[in-house]
Amino acid sequence: MSEAVSRPTLEAVAARAGVSRATVSRVVNGGDGVREPLVERVRRAVEELGYVPNQAARSLVTKRHDAVAVVIAEPETRIFTDPFFALQLRGISKELTAQDNQLVLLLTEGRDDHARVARYLAGGHVDGALVFSLHLDDPLPGLIEGAGVPTVFGGRPGWSGGSKSAVYVDCDNRGGAEDAVRHLVGLGRTRIAHITGPLDQTSAADRLQGYRDVMGETDPRLVVASDFTPSGGERAMGELLDRCPDVDAVFAANDLTALGALRVLRERGRRVPEDVAVIGFDDVLPVAGQTEPALTTVRQDIEEMGRLMARLLLSTLNRGQSPTGAPTGVVLPTTLIRRATA
């Protein structure tokens, strides 16, 4: 280790300020109940010595860590291709920072890592957890519940069993999808297709549900399963054109999917939006703003969702209780952003 010239302790500050450790501690932690002149003196001593509290020592007695784990359980490569997580992380980071909490990042690559994560959380290293685990069959949420750590989920958790009172933050996937499809209908389109996301994820399932809400019973061939990736979108769009050449609109489950669909439409000589209108979901700018033509899409405020998750968790932590019993889910609204493709 670095011989980090052992940093000054409370003791040192106390000596310098000519007070007791207890007083310094009080000042450092807000200064309530200490008279002004002393506060000032201690502050100066802290300043001069460059004193920084030892978090380990503090945690040992307070049992708080001012740290929150962010668990991203995405075996797929989606984390690395979709700016979604990055944006949400930013929101989380901002909020945690604002409230002086640290962000411990736990990336899991697969089942093997679950035990590790569970152990870590149960180990009481952090005060709470923010968990992204969007697969229906994911055992992680259950494990986490077992760890007894206050947790807020990103996205409506879809696992079966376990408590039904998980706290989560999500956007209105279903409503957003409804808006999109309604818009397409309003444009006079009649053969409106949907390219889904991976249906074992609630966001994808909810968007499909929104599509169905508006379309009612339709030609089942108009719904093609895909996976939130551009190449998946290509594949699905190709299939779609093969079996329903008369399709005149596509609601893609996310922007990346729409990107792939657009590519195939161009290849096959369909004009967008004249021949086929296209709408995406997410409004991830580097994608939606860059397509040709610019993508009409459903915007969700991803960064805000991150902030909200953090805020929710911290507020329950400060309230001194686990989130259970609190509002079960917070669902943020979406807005349709009209650009050129629909």
Q: Which residues bind DNA (CB under 7 A)?
A: 6, 9-11, 18-23, 25-26, 28-29, 33-35, 37-38, 51, 53-54, 57-58, 60-62
Phi, psi dihedrals of residue 72, rounded to the nearest 5°: -115, 110
Residue 63 region, left (φ>0) first, then alpha (ψ -120 to 50), else beta? left
- Can you tell me the distance from the alpha carbon of 290 to that of 256, in angstroms, rounded to the nearest whole number? 11
Residue 165 CB, shortest distance to its own copies, in Å, is 14
The binder of 21, among its own copies, DNA, none, by C-beta within 5 to 8 A per type, is DNA
Partner interacting with residue 94 (select from DNA, its own copies, none; CB below 5-8 Å by kind)? its own copies
Rule CB under 8 A: is residue 9 a binding residue for its own copies? no
- Residue 25 binds what, of DNA, its own copies, none (CB under 5 to 8 Å, by partner type)? DNA
234: which residues sit within 8 A by CB, 6+ positions away? 260, 261, 263, 264
Q: Distance (Å, rounded) from C-alpha 290 to C-alpha 284?
A: 10
* Shorter beta-carbon distance to DNA: residue 18 or 333: 18
Closest to 103 in 3D by CA, of 72, 126, 135:
126
Residue 250 C-beta: closest distance to DNA, Å: 57
**In angstroms, rounded to a whole number, what is the distance separating the alpha carbons of residues 269 and 66?**
56
Residue 23 interacts, among its own copies, DNA, none and using kind-specific CB cut-offs from 5 to 8 Å, with DNA
Q: Which does 146 bind (CB under 5 to 8 A by kind): DNA, its own copies, none?
A: none
Number of Cβ atoms within 10 Å of the Cβ of 322: 15
Binding flags for its own copies, 128-167, as an x/- string (CB under 8 A): --------------------xxx-----------------
Three-class SS of 43-70 = HHHHHHHCCCCCHHHHHHHHCCCCEEEE
- Is 182 an interacting residue with respect to its own copies (CB under 8 A)? no
d(CA 68, CA 129): 5
Which residues contact its own copies by CB under 8 A?
1-5, 7, 50, 52-57, 59-60, 63-65, 67, 70, 77, 79-81, 83, 85-87, 89-90, 93-94, 97, 102-107, 109, 113, 116, 119-120, 122-125, 127, 148-150, 229-231, 260, 263, 286, 289-290, 292, 317, 320-322
